Amino acid sequence: MKTIEELKAFYDSTLKNDLISLEDERKKIVNKVVLLNILCGLGIGLCAVLFFIFSFFVLIVGIPVIILWIILYSKITKGYVSSFKDKVIYRIIKFIDDNLNYKPNNCISMQTYMSSKIFRRNPDRYTGDDLVYGKLGKTDLVFSEIHSEYKTQSRSSNGTTQTHWHTIFKGLFFIATFNKKFKGETYVLPDVAQKMFGNLLGNLFQSWNKGRGELIKMEDPDFEKVFVVYGNDQIEARYILSTSLMKRILDYKNKTNKQIFLSFLQNQIFVAISYTKNLFEPRLFKTLLDFNMIREYYEDLLTAVSIVDELNLNTRIWG
């Protein structure tokens, strides 16, 4: 892995020139957006005044103003987002490793996401972007940002139905070929029950989680505190989760300080890393010429890419 100093050198020598021209573009767009906001604000203000004269007029003018704002805003910023991704994110990915490829508008398919069986609820809305894929050493990997949600509907007192969206998972979804062959299914999930209810009750709740196979108690007490393991073959689960891999997973979790979910199926490892923010998106109202921002994009990308090294997936000595 490359150091932050190397990233800084790369930033100063190559990235900065492109960023300067992109920064000009950003400033122009900010001006346009400010103008758009003023115009739309005036429109809405006018509506508010007219509201006192005839109330339904608001609907006729107000809603089109909002729709117009959305359309114009995305039109103004669209070109910028894609050139930002081409010039900044793509370059950082290539800086991390030349064998990695990038498709800003694609994401891991919903079928693949469901086939990991980490999240078993069928999403009603599934979105994502920033697909990165390639081969590092002997390991094929692919990851992207995804956001899956389900909806609930409630009826309010005046009879209108309201739709609420709830997040199932938002963050990075990572898939790689695993370095050992196996047939069954093994899941490593954050240990919510044990943390909330303590050992005795927690264990009881864990063992009720049917459908993922049996609860498998691991020997590593530190690992057990943070994770819970399910699988349909406990010897195979222990074959996959060797003592060293358990330690590596725990270290990785402590390093990233994110909630992580893992599943091992079809000779692959699936890792879901929770994030609350939108990843790899430009921030319109912040200057681009800031190394710390570039560093943040780099570190978010590295969170996924480094799994290969952190979990030692390139060691392939097993038949």
Binding map of other proteins across residues 227-246, x = CB under 8 A, - = no contact: -------xxx-xx--xx---
CB atoms near residue 224 (< 10 Å): 17
Least separation in angstroms between residue 219's CB and other proteins is 6
If one asks whether residue 185 binds other proteins (CB under 8 A), the answer comes out as no
One of 159, 211, 221, 319 touching other proteins (CB under 8 A): 319
CA distances, 113 to each of 17, 128, 136, 234, 271 (Å): 38, 11, 22, 24, 10
159 versus 319: smaller Cβ distance to other proteins = 319
Look up residue 171 and give its two tokens.
């963050």
211 versus 319: smaller Cβ distance to other proteins = 319
If one asks whether residue 254 binds other proteins (CB under 8 A), the answer comes out as no
Look up residue 87 and give its two tokens.
């010039």
Least separation in angstroms between residue 181's CB and other proteins is 8
Look up residue 72 and give its two tokens.
């114009």
CA angle 32, 37, 39 (to 5 degrees): 95
If one asks whether residue 181 binds other proteins (CB under 8 A), the answer comes out as yes
132 versus 241: smaller Cβ distance to other proteins = 241
If one asks whether residue 247 binds other proteins (CB under 8 A), the answer comes out as no
If one asks whether residue 152 binds other proteins (CB under 8 A), the answer comes out as no
If one asks whether residue 314 binds other proteins (CB under 8 A), the answer comes out as no
23 versus 233: smaller Cβ distance to other proteins = 233
Q: What is the DSSP string of 215-249?
A: EE--S-HHHHHHEEEEES-HHHHHHHS-HHHHHHH
Phi, psi of 47 (to 5 degrees): -55, -45
If one asks whether residue 184 binds other proteins (CB under 8 A), the answer comes out as no
Distance between CA atoms of residues 99 and 114, nearest Å: 27
If one asks whether residue 66 binds other proteins (CB under 8 A), the answer comes out as no
If one asks whether residue 180 binds other proteins (CB under 8 A), the answer comes out as yes
Least separation in angstroms between residue 211's CB and other proteins is 21
Counted residue by residue, the chain has a size of 319
3-state helix, strand, coil in the chain (%, to 5): 50, 25, 25
DSSP-derived letter for residue 104 is T
* Site for other proteins, residues 186 to 225, rule: CB under 8 A: 217-219
- Footprint of other proteins (CB under 8 A): 180-181, 217-219, 234-236, 238-239, 242-243, 315, 317-319
